[in-house]
């Protein structure tokens, strides 16, 4: 990928300050910039690096005001982070797309593949499965029976898509993701052991969803586990049976959704958040990392933190008190002794 600063600015509807003919061919972090690279500044914490970076071009927001002379050429845009994402997508799209079906694959005769497929070595496609156009299936991917996959999907190595799963267009599955495995359903028996409950539902994943590496999405006990359009799930996330995740919700790594939880649209969920089962999370809710959510959340006007999850301001006040507990405890113990002593004096009179 080789572009001039002017070409990039035109693509991003931005403006150039500096040498608009300078050529960039790679990307770099602002603190590790090298000549010929493009970097960006979106977080104010990194502002000091812009004055010493060796990157040739820096994307900045329109409201950035330098306080020192700059060596790099600037491209001013409305949102530097969003524009960087566009450029990274442009660079990724420039890579050659693989096509063809490797000889070392197993594709059932009843399966249907669309135009321009790529199926890598040791992949399997099952009975009556239908796959759309321009789908990329890398080596060692398993796609079971009666699966439906839309157009322009990408399956990285080792992905497992089990029977009856339905997947829309433009979805990405990172390495090791498992979709459609049995939900965790067991009924206690009188003898103290457990009876497995058959999981006869499926998973439905709508368009433009991305599933991270080693994330698991369980099939429903009955009906469907549903991941709505535009959802982005990070690595190592567990989605249990009959969960429903709303449009354009994002969740960071190691989140756990217990069975039948319903999460609304446009929610933002930090890493290691745990959801109890059978609760409802309203649209637009934001939950900080490592929170525990035992009950439904309905108020999107405040972020939530802590276990049990509470409004962020309440959590901050509670945390301030919690830090003081070691010094408060001796004071409380001393006060208790004084109260007991006073009681004894009063009772003796």
Which sequence positions are flagged as catalytic? 241
Mapped onto helix, strand or coil, the DSSP state of residue 293 is: strand
Sequence-distant (≥ 6) Cβ neighbours of residue 130 within 8 angstroms: 111, 112, 147, 148, 149
Sequence-distant (≥ 6) Cβ neighbours of residue 53 within 8 angstroms: 30, 31, 33, 39, 71, 72
DSSP secondary structure code for residue 340 in this structure: H
Do 236 and 257 contact (CB within 8 A), yes or no?
Answer: no
d(CA 16, CA 5): 7
Task: Report residue 153: phi and psi, to 5°.
Answer: -95, 155
- Name the nearest CA neighbour of 58 among 90, 91, 87, 93: 87
Omega cis (within 30) before 317: no
Angle between helices 5-12 and 80-93 (to 10 degrees): 110
d(CA 70, CA 59): 13
d(CA 104, CA 6): 47
d(CA 283, CA 6): 40
């Amino acid at each position: 990928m080789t572009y001039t600063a002017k070409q990039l600015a035109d693509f991003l509807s931005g403006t150039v300050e500096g040498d608009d003919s300078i050529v960039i061919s790679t990307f770099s972090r602002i603190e590790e910039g090298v000549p010929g690279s493009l970097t960006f500044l979106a977080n104010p914490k990194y502002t000091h690096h812009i004055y010493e970076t060796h990157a040739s071009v820096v994307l900045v927001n329109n409201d950035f005001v330098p306080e020192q002379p700059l060596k790099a050429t600037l491209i001013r845009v409305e949102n530097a982070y969003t524009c960087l994402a566009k450029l990274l997508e442009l660079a990724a799209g420039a890579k050659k797309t693989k096509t063809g079906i490797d000889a070392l694959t197993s594709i059932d005769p009843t399966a249907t593949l669309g135009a321009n497929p790529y199926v890598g070595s040791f992949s399997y496609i099952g009975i009556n499965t239908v796959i759309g156009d321009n789908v990329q299936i890398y080596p060692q991917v398993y796609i079971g029976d009666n699966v439906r996959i839309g157009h322009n999907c990408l399956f990285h190595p080792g992905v497992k898509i089990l029977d009856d799963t339905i997947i829309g267009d433009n979805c990405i599955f990172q390495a090791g993701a498992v979709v459609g495995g049995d939900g965790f359903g067991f009924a206690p028996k009188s003898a103290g052991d457990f009876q497995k409950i058959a999981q006869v539902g499926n998973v439905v994943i709508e368009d433009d969803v991305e599933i991270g590496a080693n994330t698991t999405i369980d099939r429903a006990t009955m009906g469907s586990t549903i991941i709505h359009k535009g959802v982005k799930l990070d690595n190592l996330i567990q989605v249990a049976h009959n969960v429903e995740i709303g449009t354009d919700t994002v969740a960071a790594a190691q989140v756990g959704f217990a069975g039948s939880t319903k999460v609304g649209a446009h929610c933002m969920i930090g890493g290691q958040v745990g959801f109890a089962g059978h609760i409802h999370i309203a649209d637009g809710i934001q939950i900080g990392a490592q929170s525990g959510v035992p009950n439904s959340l309905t108020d999107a006007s405040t972020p939530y933190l802590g276990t049990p999850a509470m409004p962020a301001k309440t959590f901050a006040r509670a945390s301030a008190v919690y830090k003081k507990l070691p010094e408060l405890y001796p004071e409380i113990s001393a006060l208790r002794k004084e109260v007991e002593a006073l009681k004894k004096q009063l009772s003796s009179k």
